[in-house]
Structure 1
């Protein structure tokens, strides 16, 4: 199976996701958080560094739950930038 390369926007979104998760983790160790959600610490390291820009939904949901980070905050932080309202032509 050939995997379609990620777009620059998808890679950027992955970096933003990693930043938000890293910030929410605060002073907690990566090892403690990874163990709490049942994932290898290397997987969390890759997500936080942006090397896994599209982690599975349930992985993100488990991390968000452990870090008391509402999913809507993640969506807002990692979603596409708001479009500027421009006049539309028909």
Structure 2
């Protein structure tokens, strides 16, 4: 099976997902959140930095659950226009 390259839209969506999760993690350690969600700290780091732009649904659901986020909230933030997103506003220079 050949995997097609990700589009710029997919990559941007992945960066926004990472920002949402990183913001929700707050001061909690990456290790603590990753272990509680059942993912490796390396996976969490890659998702938060956008290196894994399209993580699996179970990974996103587990992280959202541990961070107290509804999937609706995550999806709304990820799909929002950067200037309209709360996370986007927080990251703007």
Select the structure of larger CA radius of gyration. Answer: 1
Same fold (TM over 0.5): yes
TM-score bin (small chain) = 0.7 to 0.9
Which residue does 2:26 correspond to in 1? 26
Judging changes above 3 Å, is the alpha-carbon distance between structure 1 residues 9 and 80 closer, same or farther for their aligned structure 2 residues? farther
Listed one character per residue, the Cα deviations across residues 19-47 of structure 1 (whole Å, up to 9, x for unaligned) are 00000000000000001111110000000
TM normalised by structure 1 equals 0.86
Higher deviation after alignment, 35-44 or 19-28: 35-44
Relative to its length, the structure with more helix (as a share) is 2
> How many residue pairs end up in the alignment?
81
Listed one character per residue, the Cα deviations across residues 27-71 of structure 1 (whole Å, up to 9, x for unaligned) are 000000001111110000000000000000011000000000111
Contact 2:38 2:62 survives alignment (8 Å): no
* Deviant stretches of 4+, over 4 Å: none
RMSD: 1.0
